[in-house]
Amino acid sequence: MPNASADEGASAAISIEPFFTHDVENQAPPLRDYNAYESDAPLRDAVEREHAAWAGDALAGYGAVSGGELLDLGFAANENKPKLKTFDRYGHRIDEVEFHPAYHRVMTLAMQHGVHSFAWRHQRPGAQVARSALAYLHYQAEAGTSCPLTMTYAAVPALKHAPTLAAQWLPRITSLEYDARVLPAADKRGCTIGMGMTEKQGGSDVRANTSRAFESDDGYRIVGHKWFFSAPMCDAWLVLAQAGSGLSCFLMPKLLPDGTRNAIRIQRLKDKLGDWSNASSEVEFQNAWAERVGEEGRGVATILEMVALTRLDCMTGSAALMRQALVQAIHHCRHRKAFGRLLVEQPLMKNVLADLAIETEAATALAMRTARAVDSGESALARILTAAGKYWNCKRAPALVNEAQECLGGAGYVEESIMPRLYRQAPLNSIWEGSGNVQCLDVLRALGRDSQSREALFTELSTARGADRCFDGEVSRLATALDDPGTWEVRSRDLVERMALCLQGALLLRAGDPVVAQAFCGSRLGGEHGLAFGTLLAHTRFDHLIDRAWPA
């Protein structure tokens, strides 16, 4: 009997053998459990250059989370989209959004590390830079949750226009605890803030808003709608509505102080191209209670302080998407062979990867410099940097992510990879908080209002004059191009693009890596480049650029 059993097993093995088709080989291993800060030399250099090296331990701590647990959570949070629960099982109107546990874990980790509040909890030079670096690390792993985190962070300056409200709310929104419970804000360990500006008829033209605010004994009552109501799961929102003296800003809580629900009715969740882990909605205000923030009629000026910081996060988030796409591409090419060689050893692929590395470092440098301008009170420069940087970083992200996808071939187009999620996310920041045209017109307003912004721009550029022939030539051409204000508007995209490139060039020339700076200035400012990525000159030191971007 034993011999018979052995013979039967051998026979079964033989019968299966013809159907064993292949071994899995020549595949890159999963990229996980790496430190997204310690492995990012361009980011570390920018953090040090912009006076935030003191936050290195905090950034390294979150870098380990971003390159580890957060990456896995990001997949689960995006595969399980939020769901609108308009009524409970008994028929009561609740207007709640239900999230997968992965979303809540992501928010818990982010708030523990201060992604939403680091700058406000550390009142010292470089705090805004460190906080932007945290946001940059977070965005690489899970971008959707950046929406409520960003708005909670950015609400602080606006709330300070209402000292009584600020005293109540700032401790709640700078807390390091994430509290998802539906309770009155006063009973929670931590709160998040959203925003409601956009209406159907106006879009970016918020002065066309028709929502009305009526003063009452205990604040205001608001009747109207919002076409995009970001993060409807938050504890309160800053909203714009027309009051007696014009468009005004209000803080509208989810629950009233007595625990009853405010009259905010969620009509539906937006079915978006990307940003799947996050909820965006359309809402109606049916006599919803709110308290005024700032002066009546000064709503745009009040909320613009919030918008300036959310725009900073848009440019930072776009740089972060580029970074994650670049890392994925280099990782794949270091492990994948084609035609007898690793992809990373092949000259044309080296050209592509090096070009992506240059673009990503330039985007990161511009974002961190903008954060320092905000941090140090360089208001005239910050306005130019924020608008020009948001325009250019956000424009470059979709093309770069798509090029990085191509490095992975078909594997970069299937949802098991992070690349499709990055690609869906890439267009968001160019639309959110003002499209490209809005940013360009904002630059023109800054330049045309007084001479301070122009002086600040060229003072910043002058710090690198004489370091590179291509850079010097382009700065001179930019100055000449700005001497014809009569045609500024029609030329504004060209002008703002050139400003952004000059600013990136100045930063890289001062950054201390001559290979990066020379390659950037020659390709972006000197015409030594085609219209697609991967068209750097043949003598470019490709290996240096790739190794700096992602150490082997």
Average the pLDDT over 356-363 and give the result.
98
Contact at 8 Å (CB) between 379 and 303? Answer: no
Average the pLDDT over 323-335 and give the result.
98
> What SS3 class is residue 535?
coil
β-pairing verdict for 193-198 and 219-230:
antiparallel
Q: Which residue has the higher pLDDT, 121 or 5?
A: 121
Helices 347-375 and 127-141: angle between axes, nearest 10 degrees: 140
Using a CB cutoff of 8 Å and minimum separation of 24, what contacts does 88-96 make? 93/261, 93/265, 94/261, 95/232, 95/261, 95/264, 95/265, 95/266, 96/182, 96/233
- pLDDT-based confidence at 21, cuts 50/70/90? confident
DSSP 525: I
pLDDT at res. 3: 54
Average the pLDDT over 82-108 and give the result.
97
pLDDT at res. 14: 56
Tens of pLDDT, residues 477-520: 999 999 999 999 999 999 999 999 999 999 999 998 999 999 99
pLDDT at res. 1: 46
Which helix (H) or strand (E) segment is 264 a member of? strand 264-269
Q: Which DSSP string corresponds to 67-105?
A: TTHHHHHHHHHHHS--EEEEE-TTS-EEEEEE--HHHHH
pLDDT at res. 18: 77
Average the pLDDT over 339-353 and give the result.
97
Which helix (H) or strand (E) segment is 131 a member of? helix 127-141
Rounded CA separation 261/264 (Å) = 8
DSSP 187: G
Tens of pLDDT, residues 494-505: 999 999 999 999
Write down the pTM of the prediction: 0.95
Q: Which DSSP string corresponds to 344-357?
A: GGSHHHHHHHHHHH
CA distances to 144, 235, 241, 531 from 231, in Å: 10, 9, 18, 38
Rounded CA separation 432/425 (Å) = 11
Chain-centre distance for alpha carbon 313:
5
Contact at 8 Å (CB) between 476 and 529? Answer: no
Rounded CA separation 225/240 (Å) = 10
Rounded CA separation 552/547 (Å) = 6
DSSP 30: P
Rounded CA separation 80/418 (Å) = 15
Calculate what percentage of the chain has a pLDDT beyond 70: 97
Identify the weakest region by mean pLDDT among 154-163, 443-452, 464-473.
Answer: 443-452
Q: Which domains does the chain have, with CATH numbers?
A: 41-297 (2.40.110.20), 301-549 (1.20.140.10)
**Tokens for 152?**
């909670």
Tens of pLDDT, residues 31-74: 989 999 999 999 999 999 999 999 999 999 999 999 999 999 99
Contact at 8 Å (CB) between 517 and 540? Answer: no
Average the pLDDT over 334-356 and give the result.
97
pLDDT at res. 169: 98
- pLDDT-based confidence at 8, cuts 50/70/90? low
**Tokens for 97?**
């959004």
Give the residue carrying structure tokens 């945290």.
134
> Does 447 score more than 80 pLDDT?
yes
Beta bridge pairs of residue 283:
226, 266
**Tokens for 467?**
């370091």
* Amino acid letter for position 538: A
Residues contacting residue 163 through CB under 8 Å, at least 6 positions apart: none
β-pairing verdict for 236-243 and 193-198:
parallel
pLDDT at res. 20: 85
Average the pLDDT over 364-386 and give the result.
97
Average pLDDT over all residues of the chain: 95
pLDDT at res. 204: 84
Contact at 8 Å (CB) between 296 and 114? Answer: no
**Beta-carbon count within 10 A of 53 CB:** 15
Average the pLDDT over 28-32 and give the result.
92
Contact at 8 Å (CB) between 168 and 251? Answer: no
DSSP 224: E
Rounded CA separation 245/330 (Å) = 56
Contact at 8 Å (CB) between 396 and 496? Answer: no
> Does 470 score more than 60 pLDDT?
yes
Helices 379-408 and 347-375: angle between axes, nearest 10 degrees: 160
Tens of pLDDT, residues 169-185: 999 999 999 999 999 99
Which helix (H) or strand (E) segment is 115 a member of? none
Tens of pLDDT, residues 185-194: 999 999 999 9
> What SS3 class is residue 467?
coil
Chain-centre distance for alpha carbon 34:
21
Residues contacting residue 196 through CB under 8 Å, at least 6 positions apart: 226, 228, 229, 230, 237, 238, 239, 240, 252, 283
Closest CA to 170 of 230, 104, 119, 108: 119
Q: Is 173 exposed, middle or buried (0-12, 13-18, 19+ CB in 10 A)?
A: buried
Average the pLDDT over 222-228 and give the result.
96
- pLDDT-based confidence at 6, cuts 50/70/90? low
**Tokens for 394?**
């956000």
